[in-house]
Amino acid sequence: MSSLKGKNIVLGVCGSIAAYKIASLIRLLGKEEASVQVIMTPESTQFITPLTLSTLSKNPVLVDYYDSKTGEWNNHVHLGLHADFMLIAPASANTLAKLANGFCDNLLAAIYLSAKCPVYLAPAMDLDMWKHPATQHNLSLLKSYGNIIIPPGNGELASGLVGEGRLAEPEEIIAFLQDSLSKGKPLLGKTALVTAGPTYEAIDPVRFIGNHSSGKMGYAIAEELESLGAKVTLVSGPTYLKASEAIKTISVRSAQEMFDACNGVFADTDIIVMSAAVADYTPKDPATEKIKKKAEDFTIELKKTTDILGTLGQRKSNNQTLIGFALETNNELENAQDKLSRKNADFIVLNSMQDAGAGFGTDTNKVTILSRDNAPKNYDLKSKQEVAKDICQLIVDHQQSPINSKS
């Protein structure tokens, strides 16, 4: 899977003859299934039209702080925060100087100063401008701020000179971005299976047995695993949540459907996180028609559902990481420790219904994580995204342990 797939990219275009190459760059980013929001400096519109780049990116191109006709404001803070990364190409000597010294006289510079995401700069200018000490000083400053420079090429320039300063070719920029985004991802090349949400067990065509799970914890784990480089399959029970396009999502309703989906990919999966709230019992004979309210008493005969965690745990190989969840109301540690052993899991993430801010439906969680080799570790109340980071760090450590690193 491309490391650019599903990424939200702010693409800044500056005043340079090399701006004509950006049409090809946007087409290549589109083929990688990235979403591109183009920001142009006023000068760049003299070299290529906003209409051209808007058509190719399938998004309105922004040039000014606000639309003079409607008065609508282009929120530079929102644009900077929404991006997975920012790419400025071509980055002219003038824009490099502005960014290095904190000048903010156009929308692109304002977005740059607001952005918290990685910023890539692809310079383009004439040979003497590139070599000038002022330009090299500005590049040094920009690097010291954490910006990433995509080196210019060497060849014939618009002035007729031959040398360094050409904008990197669109294919080279794509390759640079993919290589950069793949580095530092400890789970690159790994596959992961995550379950999330509730299961609904049919009583009749309109009624079911379910629970209050929102799926937020499982979705947060799936997103974090994907950001660490893993190829993620998310098996989700009914929920309003939506995972990023980079994650393969399989929607299910019942415990049996969830088991079937997990069973189909388990053998080829390195990391398995069973965070769904799966029903323990299901109606033995669901009615084919809506049950009418007639009798004073009504009894539903139930049967056990397939124990997904336990079944997969018995088939688990040494190079797989298996994590289960336990939501308890009493004897929490004893019950979770028993589950860890019986299910042959590597970790159990324990939630207690006694902890405020934890459990179903909340945006926060407070967990204790049990493992085979270490004492239970207690974590403070955190957002579910932060809890997902804690869990995924344990996964990274386990996958990089001597046994798993051989796989």
For the domain that residue 363 is a member of, what is the CATH number? 3.40.50.10300
pLDDT at 406 (0 to 100) = 44
pLDDT at 407 (0 to 100) = 42
- Cα separation, 302 vs 238, in Å, equals 21
Biggest CA pair distance of the chain:
94
Q: Name the one residue in this structure whose structure tokens are 């824009």.
A: 95
- Convert the pLDDT of each residue in 203-248 to its tens digit: 999 999 999 999 999 999 999 999 898 999 999 999 999 998 889 9
Q: How many domains does the chain have?
A: 2
In a domain, 348, yes or no: yes
Whether residues 28 and 171 share a domain: the answer is: yes
- Within 8 A by CB and 6+ apart from 148, the residues are 118, 119, 120, 121, 180
Whether residues 287 and 396 share a domain: the answer is: yes
- Convert the pLDDT of each residue in 219-228 to its tens digit: 999 999 998 9
pLDDT at 86 over 70: yes
Whether residues 272 and 146 share a domain: the answer is: no
- Convert the pLDDT of each residue in 339-382 to its tens digit: 999 999 999 999 877 766 666 778 889 999 999 888 899 999 99
Q: Are 176 and 85 in contact (CB under 8 A)?
A: no
Question: 158 is in which domain, residue-wise?
Answer: 8-182
Whether residues 290 and 359 share a domain: the answer is: yes
Cα–Cα nearest to 395, from 220, 271, 245: 271
Instruction: Examine the fold and report which residue of 130, 157, 182 is the final residue of a domain before the chain moves on.
Output: 182
Instruction: Examine the fold and report which residue of 142, 160, 182 is the final residue of a domain before the chain moves on.
Output: 182
- Cα separation, 127 vs 222, in Å, equals 47
- Identify the residue with better confidence: 198 or 163: 198
Whether residues 301 and 177 share a domain: the answer is: no
Whether residues 164 and 233 share a domain: the answer is: no
**Segments in 215-279 forming alpha helices (H):** 216-227, 255-265
pLDDT at 402 (0 to 100) = 62
pLDDT at 76 over 80: no
In a domain, 3, yes or no: no
Whether residues 239 and 100 share a domain: the answer is: no
In a domain, 390, yes or no: yes
In a domain, 1, yes or no: no
pLDDT at 115 over 70: yes
pLDDT band at 280, cuts 50/70/90?
very high
pLDDT at 394 over 80: yes
Q: List strand residue ranges (DSSP E) for 34-168, in order.
A: 35-40, 85-91, 119-123, 148-149, 153-156, 162-166
Instruction: Examine the fold and report which residue of 162, 182, 202 is the final residue of a domain before the chain moves on.
Output: 182
Whether residues 236 and 289 share a domain: the answer is: yes
Percent of all residues in the chain with a pLDDT value above 90, rounded to a whole number: 74
pLDDT band at 260, cuts 50/70/90?
very high
Tell me what the mean pLDDT of segment 58-69 comes to. Answer: 86
pLDDT at 74 (0 to 100) = 72
Tell me what the mean pLDDT of segment 88-98 comes to. Answer: 97
In a domain, 319, yes or no: yes
Tell me what the mean pLDDT of segment 12-18 comes to. Answer: 96
- Cα separation, 39 vs 53, in Å, equals 10
| From 211, 263, 319, 344, the catalytic residue | 211
- Cα separation, 106 vs 111, in Å, equals 9
pLDDT at 5 (0 to 100) = 85
In a domain, 170, yes or no: yes
- Convert the pLDDT of each residue in 291-336 to its tens digit: 998 888 989 999 999 999 999 999 999 999 999 999 887 888 999 9
Whether residues 67 and 201 share a domain: the answer is: no
Whether residues 139 and 221 share a domain: the answer is: no
pLDDT at 266 over 80: yes
Chain centre distance of CA 55:
27
- Model's pTM, two decimal places? 0.65
pLDDT at 327 (0 to 100) = 87
Whether residues 148 and 297 share a domain: the answer is: no
For the domain that residue 173 is a member of, what is the CATH number? 3.40.50.1950
211 is catalytic: yes
pLDDT at 403 over 70: no
- Convert the pLDDT of each residue in 164-178 to its tens digit: 889 999 999 999 999
Whether residues 207 and 162 share a domain: the answer is: no
